[in-house]
Amino acid sequence: MRLRTVISSERERERDYRAEVQLIHYNHELYTNYTEAAKSPNGLVIVSIFMKISETSNSFLNRMLNRDTITRITYKNDAYLLSGLNIEEVYPETSSFITYEGSMTIPPCFETATWILMNKPIYVTKMQMHSMRLLSQNQPSQIFLSMSDNVRPVQPLNNRCIRTNINFSMQGKDCPNNRAQKLQYRVNEWLLK
């Protein structure tokens, strides 16, 4: 699991996302390991889950971000075995998503990833977000580089096709203005970060 955080100003609106969890999977039917898959067509699937600040939090992250665990994984390549975690608990309560073919967010940014962006966020407390920002992207021998400083700039569209299973014609509580929406095919730049 890769955690990507977003630097935010205090004047952000409530709907803005403060971080992103990236669950990176490789195609084990075509490739023998992650390194080979990352360089190859149809090599990776990355599930992206956005995070919002809330009074309540995600049960999976509660276990992962407790003081005993978080202090053991401060630097890049630190590892600590947590047993009894259920990865399903990290997912938001939705089956809706947006998907597109794109690149990895870490160098060398190969164009080998299928992205799946979940339609709803998960929630973390301010204290949990603070704990994540105390993690370093670097190894102990290098200068500390916070997890909050790792946002990749927006990339060119390169004629990507965006697909979704979201039904925009349905009315309901998920629609911000509670009226039927026309299908829109314009791509938002923020999707391609």
Phi, psi of 98 (to 5 degrees): -120, 145
**Catalytic residue among 31, 34, 75, 123, which?**
31
Q: How far is CA 114 from CA 43, 117, 161, 192, in A?
A: 8, 10, 11, 11
With beta carbons less than 8 A apart as the criterion, state whether 115 and 48 touch.
Answer: yes
CA angle, 43 as apex, 38 and 48 as ends, to 5°?
85
CA 114 to chain centre: 13
- Grouping H, G, I as helix, E, B as strand and the rest as coil, residue 115 is strand
Tokens of 64: 């992962």
Between CA 17 and CA 121 the distance in angstroms is: 8
- Active-site residue, 100 included: no
Catalytic residues: 31
